[in-house]
Amino acid sequence: LSQSRSGSVREVEIDIDDNDMVKCLKTLLRRSQEELANVTGRLNETESQLSETEVKLETVTRIQNTTREELEAVRGELNSTEEKLDVVSSDLNKTEAAMESVIGQLNSTQEELNTTREELGAVIGKLNSTEEKLDVVSSDLNKTEATMESVIGQLNSTQEELNTTREEEQ
C-alpha cells in the first residue's frame, strides 16, 4: 500500500520475501505500539488533568455555593442594618427637633435672664441710693438724738431747779 501526497491510497505490488515481510510487520507493529503507548500516555495525562479539573470544579462550586450563602447572609444583615439605620435616623430627627425646642427655650430663658439682670441692676441702683439716703437720715437721727439728750439734760436741770424753787416756797 502506498499513500500519495493528495491523501489517496493506492495499491502497489511489491515482491518481498516472507522474512522481509515479517520484519516490516514487526517494525509496523512496534511503531504502532509506540504510538499507542504515546497516545495512551497522553490519554492518561488528559484523564488525570480532567480529574484534577473536576476536583477543582467541585471546589470552585462549593466555594461559589458558600459564597452565595454568605452573600445572602450579608444581604440579610445589610437589610437589618438598613432597618436599624432608619430607626436611628428617625430617632435622630426626633432628637434634633427636641434639641431645637430646648435651644429655643434656652434662648428665651437667656433673654429673661438678661431682662432680670437689667432689672436687678436698677434695683441695686435704687438700693444704693436708698442706702445713701438712709445714711443721711441716720446721721440726722444721731444729731437729733444728741440734741434730744441735751434738751432732756436741760429739762432735767430745769425740773430740779423747779423742784428746788417749790421746796423753797413751801
C-alpha closest to that of 27 among 19, 43, 12, 41: 19
Residues 71-104 pLDDT 10s: 999 999 999 999 999 999 999 999 999 999 999 9
Cα–Cα distances (Å) from 21 to 18, 26, 28, 29, 36, in that order, read 5, 8, 10, 12, 22
pLDDT band for position 166 (cuts 50, 70, 90): confident
Separation of alpha carbons 141 and 132, rounded Å: 14
What's the Cα-to-Cα distance from 104 to each of 9, 95, 98, 157, rounded to whole Å? 107, 14, 10, 77
Judge whether residue 15 has pLDDT over 70.
Answer: no
What would the pLDDT profile of 123-135 be if each residue is shown by its tens digit? 999 999 999 999 9
In the predicted structure, residue 9 carries a pLDDT above the cut 70:
no
- DSSP assignment of 138-157: HHHHHHHHHHHHHHHHHHHH
Least confident of 13-27, 65-79, 138-152: 13-27
Q: What is the pLDDT of residue 101?
A: 96
Q: What is the pLDDT of residue 14?
A: 58
Task: Using a cut of 0.75, tell me whether the model's pTM lies above it.
Answer: no
